[in-house]
Amino acid sequence: MADFISNLLFVFQRLNWWSVLDILLVAAIFFALLYSLRDTQAMALLRGVIFLFILLSLLTSLVDLPAFSWLVSNALPALLLSIPVIFAPELRRALERIGRAGTFLPARKKTRLIETQQAIQAVVNAAARLSARQHGALIVLQRLDTLQAHIETGVQLNAAVTPELLLQVFYPNTPLHDGAAVIADGKLVAAACVMPLSSSGILNRSPERQMGLRHRAALGISEATDAVAVVVSEETGSISIAHSGRMIRRLDVERLENILLAFFHPLTTPPRGLFERLFPFLFHRKDDSNDPLAQ
């Protein structure tokens, strides 16, 4: 015990401001990594890797096992090289977020604000009517990230967004009712589009297990891009909205409209700095129009 205390005092005596800053930077990086992997299957895998690493370290340090220590020391580099392969989707999303950190609203999209607001009103109206009729629907609204790869999987429409058109698209047993309708720049550009399914465990932990492929697809496209997805449940008629891998359920029409308008409202708040865009969880704004789901 005395040796432990003396070693601890020796460490604290060598600490300076640069050492504290170094430790804080490393801690911030690990915290950001763990925060970005929350609610994903990769988080469970990461916990398993950390547990295995600690167990092997204890075995090799506490017990004299030469052959086992040799095997662990030679297998560890291969395990470290396999981490980028295992966490490839999460790393890609993190790099995409870094690439979007300095992105501002293009002037071309600012000129189409009126059309976008009219499209939002049509989506809200259609969602309310689809909910009342319990007709399932998935409507994806494009923001800064292009959805062209997903648009090409569906049927091209390039039509004005109206409630009647959305009701017809998602009418049961019609050719376009399966898949997602994609809205970009105030136009219904395509329907019956294939969206990536979510790899997170959010829906699995939900007390209500009736959420199906539409909800998983809504979360999936929100994890891969900055798009906003509106889902109407076919079983219950409840309205949900997904963005950045998060979902809010049982929305009423008024709240749905407020959230969508907040997402597509012009930037009226001061622009975020690069550090704030990379680590948004360190900043708490009372009026964060860029992430209405956080309100």
How many whole angstroms from its chain centre is CA 250?
20
Characterize the bridge pairing of strands 239-243 and 228-232. Answer: antiparallel
Please check the confidence at residue 123 and state whether its pLDDT lies above 60: yes
Helical H runs in 87-112? 88-99, 107-110
pTM: 0.61
> Residue 190 — φ and ψ, nearest 5°?
-160, 160
Q: Measure the CA–CA gap between 199 and 24, rounded to whole angstroms.
A: 31
Q: Are 263 and 292 in contact (CB under 8 A)?
A: yes
Q: What is the pLDDT of residue 73?
A: 75
pLDDT in tens, 213-260: 899 999 999 888 889 999 999 888 999 999 988 888 889 999 999 999
Average pLDDT, the chain: 76
Query: Which H or E run contains 22?
Result: helix 17-36
Please give the residue that has the higher pLDDT: either 72 or 93: 72
Please check the confidence at residue 101 and state whether its pLDDT lies above 60: no
Q: What is the pLDDT of residue 128?
A: 95
Instruction: Domain 109-267+275-294: state its class.
Output: alpha beta
Q: Average of pLDDT values for 41-60?
A: 70
Q: Which range, 48-62, 74-88, 102-116, has the best average confidence (pLDDT)? A: 48-62
Instruction: Return the percentage of the chain with pLDDT > 70, whole number.
Output: 66
> Residue 180 — φ and ψ, nearest 5°?
-110, 150
**Where are the chain's structural domains?**
2-99, 109-267+275-294
Nearest-CA neighbor of 140 among 237, 245, 217? 217
Q: Which range, 36-40, 185-189, 277-281, has the best average confidence (pLDDT)? A: 185-189
Please give the residue that has the higher pLDDT: either 31 or 159: 159
